[in-house]
Structure 1
């Protein structure tokens, strides 16, 4: 009996018809196993995409011949997000013809719900490209700064998490945490570290025994105002730049990838406020390779190449400036291209209270918390 006639009846629907090329597949997969890791990823990537996209588990029989798809997280991490972000940045910087500006920007406004009545310049023809529109300024009265409370929101956005830092872990989104030391990196002030050699990294940051360490995470959506400001009166003494990846920081992805904020490119500004240690971290994201700090002209983000796990430091304390860069509450601090995330980690007395709810929308200038 020929092979085609043998594959009839219920066997046709049971998936056994896929067994006849097993020998050939084993040979091919054996060749794949001898390849270098980059070449293996390149050859396995298209098949893995089909594995997750095709309905009804069409490629599941391949697992019977020792082929294993990449995990969804590994698949996403293998996407060249830094290259795509640089390409997107160049595309956004292309000057649009005057007649095309209003249709393109109107589509963006409609898609992400941008309120142009708050913009300092409402005329869409004024913005030469998408990048200028992303970094648009607001009318002075659009974001009144709360003067009653000690800390305000540094940006527009959505509150992902907030509260006390416990066991050197910070909450990324509800139920997902990351290492405080991995996120901030080792202490910059080595002398203070030596004074507390046996203490945890969290305790090394706290300058007073009666204080606790707190955190707040704010996600900026694409339609939000993309500048960020000083959340309180403080002095910036140090900047640390982690080149890192540029994966999406959308809350859905943040639940999916553990320690996402530790993988991504970020700029950590640290210093002191009236209650002790204070830091503001601007976390880069996919299509948000550009992070700008207004008083730091030496900072350059989303460079073509970097060493994994590397970082570079810059101190704002000098012989002429012993305390660093003073920042006033509400003062312009920096900006993103598109949207991203701001993470505040700071020291405060135990009776510090947040005026927030998880998932709430907040705007720059509104109260975050106070004593």
Structure 2
């Protein structure tokens, strides 16, 4: 038999006011639980935002009747960053009236600390739209290329992490790692890349090392919105292969990189792999919010931030052909590509054990300055 507690006197009215909202909320939450996952996420999203924004835990009572807010990470991942980035790209292409250019660009310069004295064209009226301003070139003498060291910085930016790759993992920021194989994708079985003939049982890291006694190194450079947006070849090498991973376009700001595990593996990225004089060498341009446009100058077939893609997919393109068996030769300091705003570049390469970085974590660096040498 069902038992019920009857309320007498003044408690009757109090009980109704306490029980009715809970009953109604439980019924409503029951309806939500029957929805499809996308519809449920759409309904829960505004409520979750209010849950985190409103002071004094105003919506905390909802958790007592069965509602659970999305985690902050899940909430951030549900933001349509690819759509926003494409919209931003369209906005960047809109030609600004001449009278509006200086105020708009001056605000950006002031906000992000851009040094326009280094720009090849300092006159702000010259840049017809935001895209041209972001892709501004520098004066030739603004970034002298260091000839004394074997690897230079491919861009302006901030050093997030560097060192030897250990246990098949790379640090995106201090204490937060991601899988080397997840980041680069499966090993490319192209003979021209000269991968080591390691037994299949060896780790992915060991399979990338082509010469006995060498180690695998990495360096992560974060480009802020105010930095010079082009990137260059960090050494003399040959690019044999390009792998494009469509993906999310979450912010790669160091604060977000500490927050989201394997952020670089989730984001859209373009992996260039090849060889330098010491063996395997790769440069990866990682996309970010409003940086769906990654351009590689010698690769006209590359198209990033397309409207649709399959999660976890990637596409490969080989620069090795019957007519060009050596790939694309790149000289140290040569123009390689550009971002649309700010982003991240990850270098992963093979070098002898006596290779030394000349860096400190967190330091600012400019294109052409030394990263490391033998």
TM norm structure 2 = 0.94
3-state SS of paired residue (1:5): coil
8 Å contact kept, 2:33–2:40? yes
Q: 1:196 to 1:97 in 2, by over 3 A?
A: same
8 Å contact kept, 2:238–2:326? yes
Quote the offset at 1:155 in angstroms.
0.1
Quote the offset at 1:334 in angstroms.
0.1
Q: Any idea what the Cα deviations from partners look like across 1:83-133, whole Å, max 9, x if unmatched?
A: 000000101110000000000000000000000000000000000011100
Task: Measure, in 2, the Cα distance between the counterparts of 1:182 and 1:54.
Answer: 38
Aligned to 1:345: 348
Q: 1:368 to 1:16 in 2, by over 3 A?
A: farther
3-state SS of paired residue (2:138): coil
Task: Measure, in 2, the Cα distance between the counterparts of 1:9 and 1:170.
Answer: 68
Alignment of 1:1-371 (within 5 A): 20-189=20-189, 195-371=198-374
Task: Measure, in 1, the Cα distance between the counterparts of 2:229 and 2:15.
Answer: 52
8 Å contact kept, 2:192–2:320? no
Q: 1:190 to 1:126 in 2, by over 3 A?
A: closer
3-state SS of paired residue (2:250): coil
Task: Measure, in 2, the Cα distance between the counterparts of 1:16 and 1:224.
Answer: 62
Q: 1:16 to 1:138 in 2, by over 3 A?
A: farther
Q: Any idea what the Cα deviations from partners look like across 1:223-276, whole Å, max 9, x if unmatched?
A: 000000000000000000001110000000000000000000000000000000
8 Å contact kept, 1:193–1:204? no
Q: 1:18 to 1:100 in 2, by over 3 A?
A: farther
Quote the offset at 1:189 in angstroms.
1.9
Task: Measure, in 1, the Cα distance between the counterparts of 2:223 and 2:132.
Answer: 17
Quote the offset at 1:20 in angstroms.
4.5
Task: Measure, in 2, the Cα distance between the counterparts of 1:306 and 1:37.
Answer: 19
Q: 1:10 to 1:128 in 2, by over 3 A?
A: farther
Task: Measure, in 2, the Cα distance between the counterparts of 1:193 and 1:22.
Answer: 64
Q: 1:60 to 1:193 in 2, by over 3 A?
A: farther
Task: Measure, in 2, the Cα distance between the counterparts of 1:92 and 1:31.
Answer: 43
Once superposed, which parts of structure 1, at least 4 consecutive aligned residues long, lie more than 4 Å away? 1-20, 190-195
Quote the offset at 1:196 in angstroms.
2.2
TM norm structure 1 = 0.95
Quote the offset at 1:188 in angstroms.
1.1
3-state SS of paired residue (1:7): coil
8 Å contact kept, 2:7–2:15? no
Q: 1:355 to 1:102 in 2, by over 3 A?
A: same
Quote the offset at 1:330 in angstroms.
0.1
Quote the offset at 1:16 in angstroms.
12
8 Å contact kept, 1:7–1:17? no
Task: Measure, in 2, the Cα distance between the counterparts of 1:11 and 1:160.
Answer: 62
3-state SS of paired residue (1:6): coil
Quote the offset at 1:48 in angstroms.
0.4
Q: Any idea what the Cα deviations from partners look like across 1:63-90, whole Å, max 9, x if unmatched?
A: 1111110000110010000000000010
Deviates more, 1:194-203 or 1:346-355: 194-203
Quote the offset at 1:191 in angstroms.
5.8
Task: Measure, in 1, the Cα distance between the counterparts of 2:284 and 2:18.
Answer: 52
Quote the offset at 1:8 in angstroms.
17
8 Å contact kept, 1:236–1:270? yes
For structure 1, the 5+ residue unaligned runs are none
8 Å contact kept, 2:161–2:174? yes
RMSD: 3.7
Q: 1:148 to 1:36 in 2, by over 3 A?
A: same
Q: 1:51 to 1:328 in 2, by over 3 A?
A: same
Quote the offset at 1:221 in angstroms.
0.2
Quote the offset at 1:311 in angstroms.
0.3
Q: Any idea what the Cα deviations from partners look like across 1:335-370, whole Å, max 9, x if unmatched?
A: 000000000000000110000000000000000000
Task: Measure, in 1, the Cα distance between the counterparts of 2:44 and 2:35.
Answer: 11
